[in-house]
Amino acid sequence: MINNWKEFFIEEKKKAYYIALHEKVMEEYKTKIVYPPYHLVLNAFKLTPFDQVKVVIMGQDPYHNPNQAMGLAFSVPENVILPPSLKNIYKEIENEYHVKMKQNGDLTYLAKQGVLLLNSLLTVRKNEPMSHQNYGYEHLTEDVILALDQDPSPKVFILWGKSAKSVMKYIHNPKHLILTSAHPSPLSAYNGFFNNNHFKLTNEFLLKNGLTEINWVNEQNRNKFDKK
């Protein structure tokens, strides 16, 4: 059992899939425009240490337009217009907590509270969604989820949409909670994402297991969240 992401990646880097994946990705960064910026590829792991992970939210691949991807699923830098899926995530938080979210799409505040915002693919070519789909990232995702599943501390796995739900087969520990629904994309949000109550259900589970709840409301509205 691993204790931190450094240990995890030391072991992963020895594996054939990772060596091949790294070579492909490095070649892409040398010859194409690739997102996120290289120094942010592992941002989710840097901001959310292994022993502090309480919640995992699975995304798909990074945003493929300029100045959006920052290595955290669904997140965009401050002052960037909110992408449609993130708008709907904020709407659901607003509905659950009766607040008005600040229109700042940087989800670092969640990552620092123990929410691992993990894309199943960590890189993408500019304007080419899913362009790195067959690079081997599925092996990395599997190993990340298996490592988290084996950790005895109770966790919540939030899986929105078909792609995210595909990792359910790696989660076996009965201590963990799995929450599933439709994806927050405008194409599916009204088919089961809205009113899924996942943010409140997550906090109920964390509190029941003696863990600190997640403050889902971004900075401007912290006091409103506390008064819920």
Q: What is the pLDDT of residues 8-42, one digit of tens each?
A: 999 999 999 999 999 999 999 999 999 999 999 99
Q: Are 43 and 72 in contact (CB under 8 A)?
A: yes
CATH number at residue 135: 3.40.470.10
Write out residues in the chain with pLDDT < 70, as ranges. Answer: 219-228
Residue 158: beta bridge partners? Answer: 57, 179
- Residue 202 tokens read as 């997550």
Q: What is the pTM of this model?
A: 0.95
pLDDT digits (tens, 9 = 90+) for 137-168: 999 999 999 999 999 999 999 999 999 999 99
Q: What is the pLDDT of residue 225?
A: 47
Rounded to 10°, the helix 5-12/137-150 angle is: 140
Diameter over CA atoms, the chain: 51
d(CA 35, CA 113): 25
226 labelled catalytic: no
> Who's near 95: CB < 8 A, 6+ residues apart?
194, 195
Instruction: Find the catalytic residue in 51, 61, 106, 143.
Output: 61
The sheet that has 55-59: what strands, in order across it? 115-119, 55-59, 156-160, 177-181
Share of the chain above pLDDT 90, in %: 94
Domain that holds residue 119: 5-226
Domain count for the chain, please give it: 1
Average pLDDT, the chain: 95
User: How large is the C-alpha radius of gyration of the chain?
Assistant: 17
The confidence score (pLDDT) of residue 220 equals 54
The rounded distance, in Å, linking the Cα atoms of 228 and 221 is 11
- Give just the sign of the alpha carbon dihedral 117, 121, 123, 124: negative
Residue 228: the pLDDT is 44
Phi, psi angle pair for 56, to nearest 5°:
-120, 125
pLDDT at 227: 45
